[in-house]
Amino acid sequence: MFLFRIVLFGIFVSLLNLKTVLAQDPARSSLVHLKKGAMQLWLSIPGDSVNYRGTRFDHSGMIQKIKMGDHSLCERWHTGPSNPDANDDVTGPCEEFGNSKPIGYVSNRPGSSFVKIGVGVLKQPVETEYRFWEKYEFVQRGEWITEHDATSITFRQRLFVDSVPKAIGYEYEKIVRVTESGFRIEHAIKNIGTEALSTDHYNHNFFLIDSDKVGPNYELEVPFVIRAINRKASFDETVKVSGKIAGFQELVGARSFFAELSGHSGQVSDHRFKLRHVPSGVTIECRGTSPLSKMNFWGMGSTICPEPYTQIDVDPNQKFEWTLDYEVATTK
């Protein structure tokens, strides 16, 4: 009996140690669950085995799943096994800095370094211009500090690099908060370098409501009369624009669509959209606190993406703050 108790105690200690290791090892940790009322968010964190590790999107605030009551607002739009190292194997309202041109990027300087906020320092290959869809070599990965409670999660990254003509550095903080009627993404960037920070930022908003494929059941409303420019892929065949609303003529299926939604004034009042799913009555309304610099609209059969842009210019020792506020409702 004494020997049996020793064996049981040894098993207990081993399990306790295993639990400690699992809690301390980000690669084995579970998703962070935020909940308030009927709203629920599940997020991965930088360093987790399922979190995005590519060179395009901000590694923080990766929302893997959103639910309002029984309604699902996003899901993985890629098929096949997930690949966190891929360019765009991401889900939900994920974000990117420097889609057109990252900080410190100078054309035709192979081997030089440039910075993607939320990603790190990357190496320029032989190319004539930056291409967001390409995979770049890491020079330095950004390190993260993450903390959370029941309704919010905070990500902090500090990066400083002086291997460019002028020192580039920033302190970046992102807070994702769940509210009773939606969620909020708060951002702050402080310039701690000697080079002015100038870059663009947008949220890609990979939405799909209740797994319903993109087509006539969806419509997008903006506060300005839409003039669709730079139309690509199957935009003209699948999307129909009427005043302030972009709807669909038919199911998108295996095709994709893209256009820049011009016609806005570039003011804060235009930094908003409402995505409506007609069968369920679910609406997702997003309002930004910064001036709208551009609005893109992209998607395919498995996801629909209104993409509002913000231009960010921060002088040394200055700080820039902005917020995206999402309200989720249903009329049924």
Residue-wise pLDDT tens digits, 237-274: 999 999 999 999 999 999 999 999 999 999 999 999 99
pLDDT of residue 162: 83
User: For 12-21, 203-212, 275-284, which range has the lowest pLDDT when averaged over its residues?
Assistant: 12-21
Could you tell me if 272 and 223 are in contact, meaning their C-beta atoms sit under 8 angstroms apart?
yes
Cα Rg of the chain, angstroms: 22
Distance from C-alpha of 88 to C-alpha of 242, rounded to nearest angstrom? 31
Q: How far apart are the first and last CA of the chain?
A: 63
Q: Please write the tens of the pLDDT for every residue from 23-59.
A: 333 344 479 999 999 999 999 999 999 999 999 999 9
Q: Are 204 and 237 in contact (CB under 8 A)?
A: no
Task: Please determine, for residue 173, whether its predicted confidence score (pLDDT) is greater than 50.
Answer: yes
| pLDDT score of 66 | 98
**What is residue 92's DSSP assignment?**
B
pLDDT > 90? residue 197: yes
pLDDT (average), residues 190-210: 97
Comparing CA positions, the residue from 280, 273, 282 lying closest to residue 325 is: 273
Q: What local confidence, expressed as pLDDT, does residue 30 receive?
A: 79
| CA pair distance 173, 178, nearest whole angstrom | 17
Please state the separation of Cα 149 from the chain's center in Å.
20
Look at residue 3 and tell me whether its pLDDT is greater than 60: no
Which tens digits make up the pLDDT trace of 134-159? 999 999 998 999 999 999 999 999 99
Contact assessment for residue 174 and residue 155, using Cβ atoms and an 8 Å cutoff: yes
Question: Does residue 10 register a pLDDT over 70?
Answer: no
CA gap 179, 329 in Å, rounded:
12
Q: Does this model's pTM top 0.95?
A: no
How much is the pLDDT for 331? 86
**Under a CB-based contact definition with an 8 Å cutoff, are residues 153 and 146 in contact?**
yes
Q: What is the pLDDT of residue 16?
A: 35
Whole-number pLDDT of residue 20: 31
Q: Is 95's pLDDT higher than 50?
A: yes
Distance between CA atoms of residues 198 and 61, nearest Å? 22
pLDDT reported for residue 17:
37
Alpha-carbon separation of residue 158 from 27, 168, 173, 180 (angstroms): 22, 11, 9, 31
What pLDDT sits at residue 5? 38
What domains, with CATH codes, occur in the chain? Answer: 31-330 (2.70.98.10)
Residue 121 has pLDDT above 90, yes or no: yes
Q: Does residue 89 sit in helix, strand or coil?
A: coil
